[in-house]
A = this chain, B = another copy of it.
Amino acid sequence: MNLEKVYDHIDASYEHHVERIREFIRQPTISNTGIGMEKGATLLLSYFEHLGCKKTEIAQTPGWPVVYGYYDAGAKRTLLIYMMYDCMPADEPGWTVKPFDAALVHDYKVGDYPPFKTAMVARGTINTKGPLMAFLNACESIRETNGELPVNLLLVAEGEEEQASRHLPLFLSEHKKELNEADAMFFPSANQSLDGNITITPGTKGIRYWELECSGASWGRGPKEFDIHGSMKVIVDSPVWRMIHALETMTTEDGNRCLIDGWYDNVEPPNEEEREIIAKLAEEYDWGPQKASNSVDRFILDEKTQSRELLTKYFCEPSGINIDGIYGGYTGEGSKTLLPHKVTVKMDVRLVPNQRSSEILPKVRAHLDKHGYSDIRIRDITGGEWARTSINSSLWSSIRETYERFGLKPHIDVRNVGYAPFSLFTNTPLNLPGGFGYGMLGHGTRAHAPNEYFVMEGNGVVKGLRECEKSAAGILCRYATMP
């Protein structure tokens, strides 16, 4: 396959490719409200058809459908391309353009970094309808110049990524047979950071997210139905105090180690590959951007004297137990006096190998019961498993080699401390032998925030849409021939 011809075609098609992205962005696809979801699915299906997919389908689920396409290149290897076509609402304040106009803004400046020549500012640009279309654009250019793609593609675009991928497992299970033709999964995303760096991240943590609720109704003491006058505390029990005492039993006094029985039972120490990554990172890791972006002065461990321990903790430990939010009673200005009838605590934990998200809530339940809080209710919100592949997989090797051809030396992380539903591909239900990979060149950010953007033309260090698409072509081309 002649990559140079593909690159020339991508360069020549820049305006056309930008317009294809804009068309897709201008169709809102907001899964939380339903706005535009059906039209968005139909539009995406038309792109799959235009690419030349032999089979396409809008596969219904109990929620939003999965848009599915099979491109048969007659190739040896098959990649499952995991994509999302939904995005968040754009009703937050702070937008300087209309969120679904797909505005092209020139000399776009972010922070103290050199301005980008052109950025597309709109909801869904970086997360992830922009990179999705960039990937499809790259495929189009390969077909135009080489006649055929170098790998077969199983295109799976869910419409519920912003709803914790709630029906994706169902779709994957039901299509297990045909999807198991894939060797590995690739997720089209643009991964350069603001300073141009790019990172290979061959894992993600898992998550369990739940709520605790203590109420007079379930306790049998305290107000049952509504918040009452604060003066009644003298003779009426308080569900809030009960929750405070229940929570207190869950962590050490510093809040950093969870005391729930068996919490760390299945935490496996980093394996050899991970230890090597950490040892290398410990020598060079710059904690400055982490401090700045999280507005923290210090971490649980000292990053100067305990760099390796801190990195090990960061990548390879569960997050103790986190309180995401707590609320009950009067939360406004001034002095309204109330004895609240209930209090709610939102909690999560991030999971590492070999923890299972299903093991968490039974442990929380047993802990509450053991301490006499059997009335405190647990409301399961969501969960997902960790995923892990090797940086030496054919897919990651193709990605790394591609970065290097563009002059970028990638950093290597152990895993993303956030969650992505990659375990559905690497583990149950699909168990793809080649694992997963992601990350094209290019940059954008402010997902879920005002002025979300995706760089169309960069600033030299940060690449633009052309290089993004070229890297997609490069990855596919190398993967097809990688041993």
Taken together as a complex, chains A and B put the C-alpha atoms of A222 and B334 apart, in Å, by 27
The interface residues of chain B lying within 8 Å CB-to-CB of A313 are 234-235
Q: Does A329 contact B (CB under 8 A)?
A: yes
Indicate if the CB atoms of A326 and B329 lie closer than 8 Å: yes
Q: Mark A120-158, 1 if CB is under 8 A from B, else 0.
A: 000000000000000000000000000000000000000
Indicate if the CB atoms of A234 and B324 lie closer than 8 Å: no
The interface residues of chain B lying within 8 Å CB-to-CB of A348 are 230, 335, 337
* Interface-centre pick from A238, A247, A417 (highest chain B CB count, 10 A): A238
* Interface-centre pick from A232, A233, A256, A340 (highest chain B CB count, 10 A): A233
* Nearest CB of B to A228, in Å: 5
Q: Which of A212-236 contact B (CB under 8 A)?
A: 216, 220-226, 228-236
**Residues of A near any B CB (own CB < 8 A):** 164, 205, 207, 209, 216, 220-226, 228-238, 240-242, 244-245, 247-248, 251, 253-256, 294-301, 310, 313-314, 317-331, 334-341, 343-344, 346, 348, 350, 381-382, 417-419
Taken together as a complex, chains A and B put the C-alpha atoms of A227 and B301 apart, in Å, by 20
When A295-B224, A301-B235 are in contact, do A338 and B325 touch as well, CB less than 8 Å? yes
Chain copies in complex:
2
The interface residues of chain B lying within 8 Å CB-to-CB of A300 are 234-237
Which residue from chain B places its CB closest to the CB of A331 in the assembled complex? B327
The interface residues of chain B lying within 8 Å CB-to-CB of A234 are 300, 313-314, 317-320, 350, 417
The interface residues of chain B lying within 8 Å CB-to-CB of A329 are 323-326, 346
* Nearest CB of B to A483, in Å: 35
* Interface-centre pick from A207, A237, A296, A382 (highest chain B CB count, 10 A): A296
Indicate if the CB atoms of B294 and A223 lie closer than 8 Å: yes
Indicate if the CB atoms of B337 and A233 lie closer than 8 Å: no
Indicate if the CB atoms of B296 and A231 lie closer than 8 Å: no
Indicate if the CB atoms of A323 and B238 lie closer than 8 Å: yes
Which residue from chain B places its CB closest to the CB of A338 in the assembled complex? B324
Taken together as a complex, chains A and B put the C-alpha atoms of A344 and B319 apart, in Å, by 23
Indicate if the CB atoms of B330 and A325 lie closer than 8 Å: yes
Indicate if the CB atoms of B296 and A216 lie closer than 8 Å: yes
Q: A245-B248, A325-B340, A327-B331 are in contact. List 9 more A-B contacts (CB 8 A).
A: A228-B294, A231-B350, A234-B313, A234-B417, A237-B300, A323-B340, A324-B338, A326-B326, A327-B328
* Nearest CB of B to A208, in Å: 10
Indicate if the CB atoms of B222 and A237 lie closer than 8 Å: no
A335 in complex: contacting residue of B209, B318, B334, CB < 8 Å: B209
Indicate if the CB atoms of B325 and A331 lie closer than 8 Å: yes
Indicate if the CB atoms of B323 and A240 lie closer than 8 Å: yes
The interface residues of chain B lying within 8 Å CB-to-CB of A256 are 237-238, 241
The interface residues of chain B lying within 8 Å CB-to-CB of A240 are 255, 323, 326
Which residue from chain B places its CB closest to the CB of A163 in the assembled complex? B334
Which residue from chain B places its CB closest to the CB of A346 in the assembled complex? B330
Taken together as a complex, chains A and B put the C-alpha atoms of A177 and B323 apart, in Å, by 56
* Nearest CB of B to A314, in Å: 5
A299 in complex: contacting residue of B235, B297, B320, B382, CB < 8 Å: B235
The interface residues of chain B lying within 8 Å CB-to-CB of A245 are 248, 251, 253, 255
* Nearest CB of B to A156, in Å: 23
* Nearest CB of B to A386, in Å: 12
* Interface-centre pick from A223, A254, A255, A300 (highest chain B CB count, 10 A): A255
